[in-house]
Chains A and B, each alone.
Chain A
Amino acid sequence: DVKVTQSSRYLVKRTGEKVFLECVQDMDHENMFWYRQDPGLGLRLIYFSYDVKMKEKGDIPEGYSVSREKKERFSLILESASTNQTSMYLCASRTGTGSPDTEAFFGQGTRLTVV
């Protein structure tokens, strides 16, 4: 059974803290993604990675960075958390360009609250 696992379901952090959200997938997928979900705005892409150490900005990368040192792990970093980063964060993985007609698999989500 395929699995994408996010390290935390719920997090509460203080403004200005550096926050790490971890995601691990066991499907040997090339592509990994970080989205955030906010009411009325759907899922917005923050960053994605198509290979180890490779990353691309999504639609809303400001205030975030990412790290992909190993194929199975993709980390989202909030350099200095702010209250407008309170959101549901979703990690996903998807196979590479060799099989484009495939779905992405999502983790269970991390509900981050910045106070």
Chain B
Amino acid sequence: DQQVKQNSPSLSVQEGRISILNCDYTNSMFDYFLWYKKYPAEGPTFLISISSIKDKNEDGRFTVFLNKSAKHLSLHIVPSQPGDSAVYFCAASAKTGANNLFFGTGTRLTVIP
């Protein structure tokens, strides 16, 4: 059963506009959340993360928002650039238990010049 869900398989955005990627999770034990970016034929690269003690974390053009009560997080990219076109994966982990990351199915972002 998928514990981390990305319900939008794809998203297209005009260059310069905001991209919003969404992620939902079901396991209330998750307390650390990450976003990864993946280009074709390459491994995922870490983008930004957020701990459950926060509701927002910002790094340059990237901001992650966490709504614990809704078990929902989102990644905002402002302004979007053509080089942001990639597949974005949401991931989550819990302090207790194993140290593995649970990944969503990914959202393919296309930024149109």
Contacts and interface: CB of A to CB of B under 8 A. Distances in A.
Size band of the interface chain B makes with A: 20 to 34
Given A43-B103, A111-B41, A48 B98 contact: yes
Interface string A16-59: 00000000000000110101000011111100101000001010
A94 B105 contact: no
Size band of the interface chain A makes with B: 20 to 34
Given A43-B89, A48-B100, A58-B100, A101 B44 contact: no
Given A50-B98, A94-B99, A100 B9 contact: no
Interface of B: 6, 9, 32, 34, 36, 41-46, 49, 51, 89, 91, 93, 95, 98-106
8 contacts: A33-B101, A44-B103, A48-B99, A94-B99, A96-B99, A100-B32, A100-B99, A108-B42
Interface of A: 4, 6, 9, 30-31, 33, 35, 40-45, 48, 50, 56, 58, 90, 92, 94, 96-97, 100-101, 103-109, 111
